[in-house]
Homo-oligomer: A and B are copies of this chain.
Amino acid sequence: MKDYQFTIEMETRDYECDLQGVINNANYQHYLEYTRHKWLQSKGQSFQQWHNQGIDAMVAEINMKYKTPLHGQEEFLSCLNLRREGARFIFEQDLYRKSDLKLCLQATVHIISVVNGRLSKGDELAQLIDIE
């Protein structure tokens, strides 16, 4: 495992499995979103609070490489790095099976921000999350 700015422990739930007995692909997006929200919470911020201030963060693009499937009731680590590229906030998010640290998912999520209904250059968001 490389270094990450933020890591949480999670566990899959049986109802997230599909016919093949592995976690349905779409649920990984839930895990990624949940991790970003937890990271925000750790900074005393929330999407809800931003929304009330007229700032909306939205996923513009997401790339996911499925490496090893997770199964039901399996623990994993959800790790996150963030950098800014102009108007885009790029989250590198990786999931590792906890038992052997095998890489399960490698994702890149591009977030953009809309302030008072207009696409922003990202400065408001950068200030809120204290990133250059």
Residues on A facing B (Cβ under 8 Å)? 13-15, 17-21, 24-27, 29-30, 33-34, 37, 41, 46-48, 51, 56, 58-66, 69, 72-73
Contact (A62, B19) CB under 8 Å given A14-B33, A30-B13:
no
Q: How far apart sit A27 and B62, CA to CA, in the bound complex (Å)?
A: 13
CB of A45, distance to nearest CB on chain B (Å) = 12
Copies of this chain, complex-wide, total: 4
Q: Is the interface of A mostly helix, strand, loop or mixed?
A: mixed
Is the beta-carbon distance between A30 and B26 smaller than 8 angstroms? yes
Establish whether residues B62 and A63, one from each chain, have CB atoms under 8 Å apart when the complex forms.
Answer: yes
Q: Which chain B residue has the least Cβ–Cβ distance from A56? A: B20
Give the docked Cα–Cα distance between A124 and B19 (Å).
21
Q: Closest 3 interchain pairs by CB?
A: A26-B29, A26-B26, A63-B63
> Could you say which residues of chain B place their CB within 8 Å of the CB of A46?
73
* Bound CA–CA A17/B21 (angstroms): 10
Q: Which residues of B contact A63 (CB under 8 A)?
A: 61-64
Task: Given A18-B18, A26-B30, A58-B69, output 14 extra A-B contacts at Cβ < 8 Å.
Answer: A14-B18, A14-B19, A15-B18, A15-B30, A17-B19, A19-B19, A19-B47, A37-B73, A60-B66, A62-B62, A62-B63, A62-B64, A63-B63, A63-B64
